[in-house]
Each structure stands twice: as C-alpha cells, then as structure tokens.
C-alpha cells in the first residue's frame, strides 16, 4: 500500500522539523538563563517555561510545554497491518481487538476447563495438571483503570458495558478449578480482596505528643450544638476519667454518661487510657456529645487500624451538624403552624 510510504515520509519530515526548532529554542533559552546548553536539563526548561508563560489552566497537559518531539510524537509510525494490507491482530475487524482478545481468551480457557472436568468426571482419571480453586475472592479492575488500560496501551475507546461484561466473565472464570496458567492470566486483571478497607490511613491520625514525664498524649476538640470540649487522652493509663474537675458524676443522666463511655467501650480501652476533659457551653446532652466527639478523635493513634476503620465507619469521628431550626414568620415555631381556619 503506497499510502503507507507517503504517511511515513510525512511523519519523518515532521519530526526532523520539530527537532531543529527544539534545538534552536534550547540554545536561546540557555543563553537567556546564563547556563551552558549542555548542562541544561529538562527541569530547567520546565521552570523557565512556567516563569515565562504562566497559565492558570487546570489541566496540566494543556499548559505550554517545551519537549523533544520524541516524548510527544511516536518515533515509528506503526500501522496495524503489513505491506500486503493484512492486519497483525486476528480480531482487527472488530473495532476493539485487544479487548475482545482478552474476552475470547478467558472464554476459551473456560471451555478447556469444562472439558477437563467432564473428562475427569466421566473416566475418573486424574487431572493432567494441578488444578485448584482460588483461596480468596478476587477484586477486578475498576472502571477508570480499565478505560485507561485500553486507551493508553492500545488507543481503544471502551464503554461501561464492556467493563460490566469483563467483570462478569472474570468472576465466572475465577470460581472454577484453575490451572497455574489460568491464575497467572487472572492476576493481570485483578488481585485478592483485602477484607480490611483502610478508610483513613494518613499521618495526621497517628500524631501524638510526649509529656515532660514521658507520657504520650493527644488533645482534640469536640463540638456538639453549642458545646465545645477539649479532651486529652493519655496512653498507658489506669482508667482515670476527669470532666471539669469531676468524674463521670458530672453528668446526671445515664444517657449522657453512656455517650462519654461509648468510644472507650468500642475500642476496649476503658482501663488502659486516661481521659481529661474541659467542657463549656451548651446543655447536658450537648456537652456529652462534644466529649464523645473529642474523645474518639483523640484515641486514634493509640488504637489499631481496624479500630480506626470501625470508628470512622460508625460516624463517631464526624461532627454532628444538627442545630436547632430557626422560627419562621407566619408560624408558631419551626414547623408548627397556626390553626387552620375555614374562612
């Protein structure tokens, strides 16, 4: 096909032009910056461009760049077929060859495994290769990585339907008795599920300070309605609880006392931790809620990652934003309305 030659020549001439421009520009830049052009690296160029041509665009790929055409354009203009016009990929005529290749390979493996099972079941002979079930449930590529995989490697645009089918097929395959080669095939697209989902895994959670006496502690503020609480938790303690100079008797109702003790009971650290709290504002319930909020946030560095997940998922770490609703004109209270009259 002679259209190949034409396009390949065009591409080559383009690349040559761009390299010349790049070299020229590089020398000018080096002159401007006062650096020898041989010592100038790509980082110098990037800094200079950011200074000379600042842009506030969000997408970093669309900001002005100055790179060698090697990094931007492909070197060899690869057609997906050879001189005679025959495509290289056997599923080129479907418009998504690589995606369908993966699916058909998985389907073919399923067929082979089914045949093996039938043969084993009917004749009673041992399997030719070692076949095992997967010990764990596997988690497959999520949508974004899936779309990216095909776009970046093979420049194919895949849709959501294709991802759904992919997930269904892979789960079907993973539930059969597999050979080693099948496991290797599946590991390209998935990994075993971890039962632990690390919801919060940042460094801020694990920060704590050390006392003059050498005791670790952490203070956090807790808020509820209009109450503010300052809670400090000391590790390696006996179970001391102090609220504004008093013990748990500061709160009279059982409900308020339970609110304060609940995070300690959850993490099972009642007698292992000292708590000192200072509360202002609000009423009894508000203050107890504020202490609960502060306590659960202050406990995090002294507790395992599993517990951190539990606390975050339970909602103890979130500030309860419920506030008394305002009164509205034309009504008695926030929701209560005046008595309805017929006329």
Partner 1 sequence: GACIPSLSQQKTYKTDIKAKVVNPRPLTVTRIYEKKVILKNAEAAAALAKEEELSDKKEKINVYKSFHRDIAEDNALKNPDFFKVKEMVDLHTLFKNRVHFGHHHGCRHPFVVPFLYGVRQNTDIFDLDKTLPRLHNALNFIAHMVYRGGVVLFVSRNAQTMPLVEYTAQKCGEYSHCRFWKGGLLTNIDYLYKNLTRYPDVVVFIHTQNNFSHEHAAITECAKMLIPTVGIVDSNCNPTLVTYPVPGNDDSLDAVKLYCKLFEETILRAKEYRKRDIEELSDDSDES
Residues that bind partner 1 (CB under 8 A): 1-3, 5-6, 79-81, 84-87, 90-95, 100, 104, 107-108, 110-111
Residue 297 near residue 199 (C-beta atoms within 8 A): no
CB nearer partner 1, residue 92 or residue 255: 92
- Of 228, 236, 214, 340, nearest in space to 277 by CA: 228
CB nearer partner 1, residue 93 or residue 340: 93
CB nearer partner 1, residue 3 or residue 125: 3
Q: Find the shortest distance in angstroms from Cβ 125 to partner 1.
A: 22
Q: Find the shortest distance in angstroms from Cβ 88 to partner 1.
A: 10
Q: What is the DSSP letter of 337?
A: B
Q: Find the shortest distance in angstroms from Cβ 108 to partner 1.
A: 4
Residue 25 near residue 34 (C-beta atoms within 8 A): no
Q: Find the shortest distance in angstroms from Cβ 323 to partner 1.
A: 55
- Of 76, 65, 93, nearest in space to 15 by CA: 76
**β-pairing, 209-210 with 190-192?**
unpaired
- CA 29 to chain CA centroid, Å, is 40
Q: Find the shortest distance in angstroms from Cβ 37 to partner 1.
A: 36
Residue 293 near residue 316 (C-beta atoms within 8 A): yes
CA-based radius of gyration for the chain: 33
Backbone angles phi, psi at 145, to 5 degrees: -65, -35
CB nearer partner 1, residue 19 or residue 104: 104
Helices (H) and strands (E) in the chain, counts: 10, 7
Segment (H or E) for 263: helix 254-266
Residue 150 near residue 158 (C-beta atoms within 8 A): yes
CB nearer partner 1, residue 58 or residue 93: 93
Segment (H or E) for 222: strand 216-224
Q: Find the shortest distance in angstroms from Cβ 104 to partner 1.
A: 5
Q: Find the shortest distance in angstroms from Cβ 4 to partner 1.
A: 9
CB nearer partner 1, residue 60 or residue 86: 86
Q: Find the shortest distance in angstroms from Cβ 172 to partner 1.
A: 13
Q: Find the shortest distance in angstroms from Cβ 152 to partner 1.
A: 17
CB nearer partner 1, residue 169 or residue 205: 169
CB nearer partner 1, residue 83 or residue 336: 83
CB nearer partner 1, residue 21 or residue 115: 115
Backbone angles phi, psi at 178, to 5 degrees: -110, 150
Task: List CB contacts of 243: < 8 A, sequence separation 6 or more.
Answer: 250, 251, 260, 277, 278, 279, 291
- Of 337, 335, 313, 317, nearest in space to 326 by CA: 335
């Amino acid at each position: 096909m002679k259209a190949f030659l034409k396009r390949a020549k065009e591409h080559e001439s383009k690349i040559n032009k761009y390299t010349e421009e790049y070299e020229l520009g590089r020398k000018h830049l080096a002159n401007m910056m006062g650096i020898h052009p041989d010592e100038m690296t790509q980082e110098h160029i990037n800094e200079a461009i950011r200074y000379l041509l600042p842009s506030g665009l969000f997408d970093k790929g669309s900001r002005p760049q100055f790179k060698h055409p090697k990094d931007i354009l492909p070197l060899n203009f690869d057609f997906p077929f050879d001189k005679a016009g025959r495509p290289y990929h056997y599923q080129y005529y479907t418009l998504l060859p690589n995606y369908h290749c993966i699916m058909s390979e998985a389907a073919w493996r399923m067929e082979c495994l089914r045949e093996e099972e039938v043969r084993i079941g009917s004749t009673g002979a041992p399997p030719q290769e070692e076949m095992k079930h997967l010990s764990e449930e596997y988690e497959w590529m999520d949508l974004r990585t899936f779309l990216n995989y095909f776009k970046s490697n093979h420049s194919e645009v895949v849709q959501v339907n294709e991802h759904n089918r992919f997930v269904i097929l892979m789960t079907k395959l993973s539930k059969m008795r597999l050979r080693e080669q099948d496991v290797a095939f599946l590991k390209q697209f998935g990994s075993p599920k971890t039962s632990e989902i690390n919801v919060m895994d940042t460094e801020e959670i694990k920060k704590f300070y050390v006392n003059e006496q050498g005791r670790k502690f952490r203070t956090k503020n807790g808020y509820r309605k209009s109450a503010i609480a300052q809670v400090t938790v000391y590790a390696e303690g006996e179970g001391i609880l102090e609220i504004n100079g008093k013990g748990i008797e500061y709160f009279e109702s059982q409900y308020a006392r339970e609110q304060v003790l609940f995070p300690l009971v959850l993490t099972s650290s009642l007698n292992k931790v000292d708590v000192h709290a200072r509360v202002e504002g609000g009423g009894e319930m508000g203050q107890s809620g504020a202490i609960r909020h502060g306590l659960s946030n202050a406990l995090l560095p002294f507790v395992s990652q599993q517990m951190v997940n539990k606390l975050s998922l339970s909602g103890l770490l979130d500030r309860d934003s419920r506030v008394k609703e305002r009164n509205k004109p034309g009504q008695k209270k926030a929701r209560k309305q005046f008595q309805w009259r017929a006329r």
